[in-house]
Structures are given as C-alpha cells and as structure tokens.
C-alpha cells in the first residue's frame, strides 16, 4: 500500500513514495527548488516531470501552502499571485490527485504515526517554514484550512507569520534566541485562543529544536514533529490513500 506525497513549499517542492501503513518513505526524496518569483506553471511543469520517475498507477497527494478545497487552490500567501483558482487534479494531469493545506497534511502524518499519534483533546500543529502553518485536531478530527499564521499580531502590527516565520527570521536577521522570543508571542496567542492540550511543532525550524525549545514556555505539552520537514509529504500521501481507499 503505497502512495506518492508531494509537499509544495515556499522555496521548494518535495516528492516521495510512502508506505501508507507505516508512514515510512520507500523512495529517495526528490527536491525541486524554486523562488517566490517562479510562476505556478513552471513549478507545476517541474512536478509533472518529476512524477515521471514514480509509478504511474499510484495515487498522489499534495500539500499546498494556502487554502485548499477539493483540489482547488484558493490562496497562496507565500507563493505569488499565479496560483489561486488552480485545480491540481487538472494541472498535474494524473487521475488520482488529492490536495490539502500543507500544515493540515503535516498534522495528519503526526496524528497517524508521529508525535501526536492517537492523541485526543485539542492538538495544535504549528509548522514554521517560509510561513507559519497551523492545523487543529479535536478528538482526532481535523478542522481544515484554519490559517492561524495569518491572525493579527497583538502588538507588532501585521499578522503573526510576518514576525516569526522562517522568512521573518532571515529577513530580520534574528538569532535563534531572538526568534524564540517572537515564537513565544505566537504561542501565547494560540494558548489564549485555543487552549491546546498538545502543541506539535514542525517545519525547518525543528532542525534547531535543542537550541530554541528550552527558551519557550507553554501550558500545553509541546513536542517536536516526528517527521520534521517531511511531515507534509508523508501526510499528503496518507490523504491520497484515504481518498482512494488504499
């Protein structure tokens, strides 16, 4: 039982083949780089090309950094304006395509096989990469497309991800200590608003977990995503499996 997972991010796309009964990768991860200037058409053409390296008959799941409804991309705050309205099933020209927000995909992987496996209560996933992605499971049920990275920052103006995403860390030249203070502000908002029992943090920032995690304080049980920055890829393959009853 294998499916292909694709994670479209702000600076690249990851593709891989996953055993959906365990969440384990059974192929190398293909990485396709892009910038915010790269058009949707160019990125989609790269993905179509890369998909040729994988078996044709496998269902494909895609995690996308924006609001996704039934394979239709509605927003893409970090990828430029050429994505909204794209239907991924048509654009990737494969019969079995399922798509979902990237943080929702990551949370599916963690809930099925990772750090929040089998957790009930309120589980908040926060992915920190180019943007800040969020996903909420309540008693094992995912509530999709929440976009809490776009909530207003209580003191700095703009939205939360503008101040604490990976892009903000680079743009504002923040040390990990400085970034951790910014992330604390984000976590304070989430704890006040949603009272999560568990917070799972994923995305590129988990590479530095040991350096910053001791610097943040939360009421919830905070955990590092087991799948790190592969959570979106693994989760989207699980979505593909669920949609095709594999």
- Any contact of residue 229 with ligand BGC (CB under 6 A)? no
- Any contact of residue 162 with ligand BGC (CB under 6 A)? no
- Any contact of residue 102 with ligand BGC (CB under 6 A)? yes
User: Which is closer to ligand BGC, CB of 112 or CB of 160?
Assistant: 160
Q: Least distance in Å: CB of 200 to ligand BGC?
A: 14
Nearest to 181 by CA among 192, 194, 168: 168
Q: What tokens does 139 get? A: 């008693």
Q: Least distance in Å: CB of 103 to ligand BGC?
A: 4
**Pattern of binders to ligand BGC over 48-77, x per CB under 6 A?**
-----------------xx----------x
- Any contact of residue 78 with ligand BGC (CB under 6 A)? yes
Binding residue count for ligand BGC, defined by CB under 6 A:
16
Which residue has tokens 């094992």? 140
- Any contact of residue 202 with ligand BGC (CB under 6 A)? no
Question: Which listed residue (16, 23, 131, 204) binds ligand BGC by CB under 6 A?
Answer: 131
A 10 A CB-CB count for 240 gives: 27
| Phi (first) and psi of residue 113, to 5 degrees | -135, 0
A 10 A CB-CB count for 191 gives: 16
Question: Which listed residue (110, 119, 161, 162) binds ligand BGC by CB under 6 A?
Answer: 161
User: Which is closer to ligand BGC, CB of 27 or CB of 228?
Assistant: 228
A 10 A CB-CB count for 83 gives: 24
- Any contact of residue 150 with ligand BGC (CB under 6 A)? yes
- Any contact of residue 204 with ligand BGC (CB under 6 A)? no
**Region binding ligand BGC by CB under 6 A among candidate stretches 95-103, 136-144, 176-184, 187-195:** 95-103
**Pattern of binders to ligand BGC over 111-130, x per CB under 6 A?**
----------------x-x-
- Reported as type and span, the H/E element at residue 138 is strand 132-138
**Can you state the angle between helices 102-113 and 231-243, rounded to 10 degrees?**
80
Give whole-number Cα distances, 7 to 17, 94, 229, in Å: 12, 16, 9
| Burial (0-12, 13-18, 19+ Cβ within 10 Å), 155 | exposed
Residues sharing a CB contact under 8 Å with residue 191, sequence separation 6 or more, in sequence order: 218, 219, 220
**Which residues contact ligand BGC by CB under 6 A?**
65-66, 77-78, 101-103, 127, 129, 131-133, 147, 149-150, 161
């Amino acid at each position: 039982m294998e499916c292909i997972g694709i994670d479209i991010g702000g600076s690249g796309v990851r593709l891989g083949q996953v055993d959906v009964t365990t969440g384990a990768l059974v192929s190398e991860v293909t990485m396709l780089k892009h910038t915010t200037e790269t058009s949707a058409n160019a990125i989609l053409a790269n993905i179509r090309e890369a998909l040729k390296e994988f078996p044709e008959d496998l269902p494909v799941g895609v995690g996308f950094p924006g609001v996704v409804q039934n394979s239709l991309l509605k927003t893409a705050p970090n990828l430029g304006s050429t994505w909204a309205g794209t239907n991924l099933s048509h654009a990737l020209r494969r019969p079995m395509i399922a798509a979902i927000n990237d943080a929702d995909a990551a949370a599916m992987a963690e809930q099925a096989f990772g750090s929040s496996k089998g957790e009930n209560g309120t589980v908040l996933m926060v992915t920190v990469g180019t943007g800040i992605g969020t996903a909420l499971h309540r008693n094992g049920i995912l509530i999709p497309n929440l976009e809490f990275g776009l909530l207003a920052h209580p003191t700095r103006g703009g939205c939360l991800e503008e101040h604490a995403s990976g892009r903000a860390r680079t743009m504002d030249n923040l040390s990990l200590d400085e970034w951790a203070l910014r992330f604390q502000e984000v976590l304070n908002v989430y704890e006040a608003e949603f009272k999560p029992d568990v917070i799972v943090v994923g995305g590129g920032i988990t590479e530095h977990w040991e350096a910053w995690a001791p610097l943040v304080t939360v009421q919830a049980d905070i955990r590092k995503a087991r799948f790190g920055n592969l959570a979106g890829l693994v989760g989207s393959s699980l979505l593909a499996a669920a949609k095709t009853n594999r």
